[in-house]
């Protein structure tokens, strides 16, 4: 019989796998508890009201606990970020506050997957990022450069490069993964 570790010692990935496998509420509850600061911060950013943000966090708990069973989710952090953002936008629309966002032009997979483009970097991290950017395939390198360094939308990148929209999304996603792996390898973080 395999030994069961305390739930709080499990990694986010382990908890997510157990949520999907065993569908026990305590696994989901712990996983969601860990993400409350991110979800609350995101809701506060969009709703600009502490009470509304707190209500949204609670509503999202119910919504996400049901949706997690219905979808094939590759990255819980990214998926939760997207669901929370869409939930806030829907709340704003229902409140008749005009927000016009083309979700096709927004890439929501920032989070902990790729913080090296989002934060101050040490000289070592900056150097690793430069080396790894040069190791990417041209399509991935261009797409990531336009998206992160020049703040171009998907539509802009399609216009500039001529790549199909779905390819641009794929180049960014795969390029980020390749960069993360390369940087972790170079910085001996694996």
CATH code, 176 = 1.10.10.10
For residues 181 and 132, is the Cβ–Cβ distance under 8 A? no
Residue 5's pLDDT band, with cuts at 50, 70 and 90, is low
Looking up tokens 């989901």 gives 28
Alpha helices in the chain (DSSP H): 12-22, 25-47, 50-70, 76-94, 123-135, 138-144, 154-161, 165-186
Q: Please give the pLDDT value at position 22.
A: 76
Task: Give the pLDDT confidence of 20-51 residue by residue, as tens digits.
Answer: 777 677 888 888 889 899 999 999 998 888 99
Task: Give the pLDDT confidence of 49-98 residue by residue, as tens digits.
Answer: 899 999 999 999 888 888 887 778 888 888 889 899 999 988 888 875 44
User: Does one domain contain both 96 and 15?
Assistant: yes
Rounded to the nearest integer, the mean pLDDT of the chain is 79
Burial (0-12, 13-18, 19+ Cβ within 10 Å), 160: middle
Express as a percent the part of the chain with pLDDT over 70. 82
- Residue 1 inside a domain? The answer is no
Q: CA 67 to CA 182: how far, in whole Å?
A: 33
CB half-sphere exposure, 37, CA atoms < 13 A: 2
CATH number of the domain where residue 32 is located? 1.10.1740.10
For residues 85 and 108, is the Cβ–Cβ distance under 8 A? yes
User: Does one domain contain both 109 and 73?
Assistant: no
Q: Domain range spanning residue 110?
A: 105-186
Task: Give the pLDDT confidence of 105-146 residue by residue, as tens digits.
Answer: 333 444 433 444 555 567 787 888 889 999 999 999 999 888
- Residue 160 inside a domain? The answer is yes
């Amino acid at each position: 019989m395999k030994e069961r570790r305390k739930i709080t010692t499990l990694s986010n990935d382990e908890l997510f796998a157990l949520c999907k496998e065993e569908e026990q509420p305590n696994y989901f509850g712990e996983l969601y508890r860990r993400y409350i600061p991110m979800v609350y911060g995101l809701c506060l950013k969009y709703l600009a009201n502490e009470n509304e943000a707190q209500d949204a966090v609670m509503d999202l708990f119910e919504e996400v606990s049901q949706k997690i069973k219905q979808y094939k989710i590759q990255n819980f952090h990214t998926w939760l970020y997207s669901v929370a953002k869409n939930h806030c936008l829907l709340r704003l629309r229902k409140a008749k506050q005009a927000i016009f966002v083309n979700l096709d032009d927004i890439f929501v997979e920032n989070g902990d997957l790729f913080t090296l483009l989002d934060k101050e970097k040490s000289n070592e991290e900056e150097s690793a990022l430069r080396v790894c950017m040069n190791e990417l395939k041209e399509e991935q390198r261009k797409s990531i450069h336009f998206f992160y360094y020049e703040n171009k939308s998907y539509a802009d990148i399609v216009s500039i490069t001529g790549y199909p929209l779905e390819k641009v999304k794929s180049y960014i996603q795969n390029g980020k993964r390749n960069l993360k792996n390369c940087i972790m390898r170079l910085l001996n973080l694996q």
